Amino acid sequence: MTTHLEELAEKLSIRVRWEPMDGAGGLCQLKGKKVFIGSSVQSAEQKAEALAKALADSKLDDIYVLPEVRQFVERMRDA
C-alpha cells in the first residue's frame, strides 16, 4: 500500500522522505515545495496510515487512483 501512496504523492507533486525519527511525521513545505517526512522506523502499516492521512486533504478528483487506495485514503481522512 505504501508504494501506491508514494506514487499518488508523486502525482500530487509531493516529495516523500522517510527518516529515522520518533512520531509519524507529516506534510510540510520546504523551499516552496510540498514534502511528506515520515518515520522510517515505523511498520509498513503505520507508514501507510501516516502518508494516507497526509494525502487525505488533497484533491483527487482529476487523478486516477486505484479504488482500494482511494478507499484507504478516505478512511484515513475520516479517522
pLDDT digit string, tens, across residues 3-13 = 999 999 999 99
pLDDT at 62: 94
**Exposure of 37 by Cβ count < 10 A (0-12 exposed, 13-18 middle, 19+ buried)?**
buried
**Exposure of 8 by Cβ count < 10 A (0-12 exposed, 13-18 middle, 19+ buried)?**
buried
pLDDT at 10: 98
Q: Range of 73's domain? A: 2-78
pLDDT at 24: 82
Low-confidence residues in the chain, pLDDT < 50: none
pTM: 0.93
